[in-house]
Amino acid sequence: MAHLLIRHQQQQQQQQRHQQTVDRLVNHSNFSAGRTLLTYSAECGDESAGLTRLLLNAGARVWTEAEEGFGTNDVADRVAKELEGSALTWFLRALLRRRGSDHLAAISTWGDGTLHLLGHAAAAISDQGGEALRDHLTRAVLRLGRSERAEGPVFAEVRRRLAPLWAQPLSLKFLCLRRIRGTIGPKNLSDAGGLKRKLSDIPNTMLQYLQLA
């Protein structure tokens, strides 16, 4: 019995070390630019949706709030660092830079899948994830906006598409997604084959939904 308990404890410690290593890799930022792998993937829109999904399922964060003590002496500095390291900010920036295209149409043709992934992953982090996403989007819009006439409709459409993630009451479907993804954890979410073996009784369509596919 004692042997089994020790073995179980060792397995838990190994899993924790594995997740810490993965977390450091997927959320590591280039300190000169303050960007993570996810920001570069999101910047490519749906052309890189597969990589974006893989990173999010592995535990990548859409944005990380800047902590005090790292050159962030006031609120403005911390907000600026948060936004520059945000995958959502870089997605919006890339959307607005698409020359010769209808930006409103590009949300559907170029970035619909990526916007869905970023929004659901951010809102599913915690019970307050939706409100945090709404506030973060507002800060990103204020940072990027230049012309209300040119960019206002684009930001309004992005906000309309993400609004169900912070509307009250939240849909039962999304509440279940948030709870189950939190229970499964990044280690299992990033292993599609392993997850399917562990949850063999669950239909493939439901497994795909849990992995934001």
Q: Indicate if the pLDDT at residue 117 is higher than 90.
A: yes
**Range from 35-39, 67-71, 87-91, 107-111 carrying the lowest mean pLDDT:** 67-71
User: In 31-56, which positions are buried (b, 16+ CB within 10 angstroms) versus exposed (e)?
Assistant: eeebbbbbbbbbbbbbebbeebbbbb
Listed ranges 15-29, 108-122, 150-164, 165-179; the one with the highest mean pLDDT: 108-122
Q: Which two tokens stand for residue 198?
A: 């562990």
Higher pLDDT, 148 or 137: 137
pLDDT at 5 over 80: no
Task: Locate 29 and state its tokens.
Answer: 């930022």
Contact 124, 177 (CB under 8 A): yes
Place of tokens 């945090």: 132
pLDDT for residue 200: 75
Q: Across all residues in the chain, what is the average pLDDT?
A: 81
Helix extents (H) in the chain: 2-26, 37-42, 49-57, 75-84, 87-96, 103-109, 112-123, 129-144, 148-162, 172-184, 186-189, 192-198, 204-210
Omega of the bond prior to 169 within 30 degrees of 0, cis? Answer: yes
Q: How far is CA 3 from CA 8, 13, 17, 139, in A?
A: 9, 15, 21, 53
Take residue 154 and report the two structure tokens written for it.
């684009």
Report the amino acid identity of residue 172.
L
At 45, give phi and psi (nearest 5°): 65, -145
> Under 8 Å CB-to-CB from 141, ≥6 apart: which residues?
92, 155, 159
Read off the pTM. Answer: 0.80
